[in-house]
Structure 1
Amino acid sequence: MSAPRRVGRPRAVATPPSGLTPREEVLAAAAELFTGQGYAATTTREVAERAGIRQASIYHYFKGKEEILASLLESTVRPSLEAARALMDAPAPAEARLWALCVRDVRLLCSGPHNLGVLYLLPEAERFARFQELRDALKDAYAGLLARTAVASTLTEDELALRARLIFSLVEGVILIRRDASALPVEQVAEATADAALRVGGVPDDDLPHLRELGRPLL
């Protein structure tokens, strides 16, 4: 006998089928409102109305507005961290793996209808320990790949740490670029950012075309 299925909460209004679960509808609505009118200015009632469910039904999926924000923040990091872990031991030069990670991370930050990366700028973001842990782990992954490149042996620990931090900041900089120019050519921005990241890491320009060719199959 199969286990009983958890029944979702009823909708407040009929909405066209989107293919999303009610929980995903809540996240999509919150993403639009948080990035559009601000986190502090958005109420759970507004999120519920935009999602087409009753306000009380939100609490079937989330404890409150802060947990919704936490979920959105984590969604901007977790896929890139998973990609980084897969790339760590991929059969390619570290430079190509670092290039591929940059491309995948930029794609994520530039994907979707809403620029969720701007939520990093909220003072509330600092309170979410799990998000900060994931982000720190991603920073460490960038540093780990950079440490495996050929140029790393020529750098001091402090120089290596600084370059890793610069690369990570460069990638996250696309959040501000997207804020100022919403219609970005994502693939072009992703590859240009990855190229710039390798240059910051000390990779010669002459090596970039070959590393791009090695990096693209890793995407």
Structure 2
Amino acid sequence: MGSMGITTGRRVGRPRAEQRPDSGLSVRDELLFAAAELFTTLGYAATTTRAVAESAGMRQATMYHYFSGKEDLLAELLESTVTPSLTLARELLADDERRPETRLWELCRSDVELLCAGPHNLGALYLLPEVRGERFAGFHRVRADLKDAYGQLLAATEAGGELDKGELQLRTDLVFGLIEGVILVHRSDPERAVGVFAGATADAALRIAGV
């Protein structure tokens, strides 16, 4: 879960439809940024590939050089919201020097910061009916792996070790649901300091976990 990951790099590929100020983004990342903005404001169904290309200042043919269509754009955006958190979760799982409670808190805090740091509410796209399609299997797999990591960290805590399998799954579902739903809370007050909000949410998540 998180904001769109973008990388800088030299522009390559086909020409643009118009000259635009240099944003420092690669062509691929400019297309993803444009798609994120349109999907979350205009709506996924109402957004055309032409609109994405024009918003990025490119020809539609240029967009097809990088993405096969809207599904490709959406799938990559969704995966970008969870992949960084999964990477961190795996690092935390391998860290035997800190208490599990501390590591779980850090994962929650970092995940919230990632979700709230981006300019677009990509978490809202999780609920699109199109996301059930086969093209999004990669996103669902990474998301499931992230949720499993949450569960492993929770199970390693003193409180988690006292739970049976069903109770552990319920606590994991509740914690994961809180983290994924946090973007809706933050959206109601976008000026709220993200660092403070992330810490408070992590505190709440650990209370749900019974820590």
Fold shared per TM-score above 0.5 = yes
Q: Does 1:100 align with 2:106?
A: yes
Q: Read off the aligned partner of 1:22 and give its amino acid letter.
A: V
* Cα deviation, residue 184, structure 1: 3.2
CA contact (8 A) 1:31 1:114 kept: yes
**Larger RCO (CA under 8 A, 6+ residues apart):** 2
Structure 1 residues 185 and 173: alpha-carbon distance in aligned structure 2, compared to 1, 3 A threshold: same
Q: Which residue of 1 aligns with 2:130?
A: 124
Structure 1 position 7, deviation (Å): 4.2
* Number of residue pairs matched by the alignment: 199
Structure 1 residues 9-158: aligned runs within 5 Å? 9-90=14-95, 91-127=97-133, 128-158=136-166
Letter of the 1:124 counterpart: E
Distance 1:190 1:124 in 2: 30
Where does the alignment leave 5 or more consecutive residues of structure 2 unmatched?
1-9
Q: Normalized against structure 2, the TM-score is what?
A: 0.91
- Counterpart code for 1:110: C
Residue identity (%)? 61
* Alignment correspondent of 1:213: none
Q: Show CA shifts across 1:67-123 (max 9, x none).
A: 000000000000000000011021200000000000111111111111111111211
Give yes or no for the alignment of 1:182 onto 2:173.
Answer: no
The TM-score with structure 1 as length reference comes to: 0.87
Give the distance between the partners of 1:160 and 1:63, measured in 2 at CA: 41
Which amino acid is the alignment partner of residue 59 of structure 1? Y
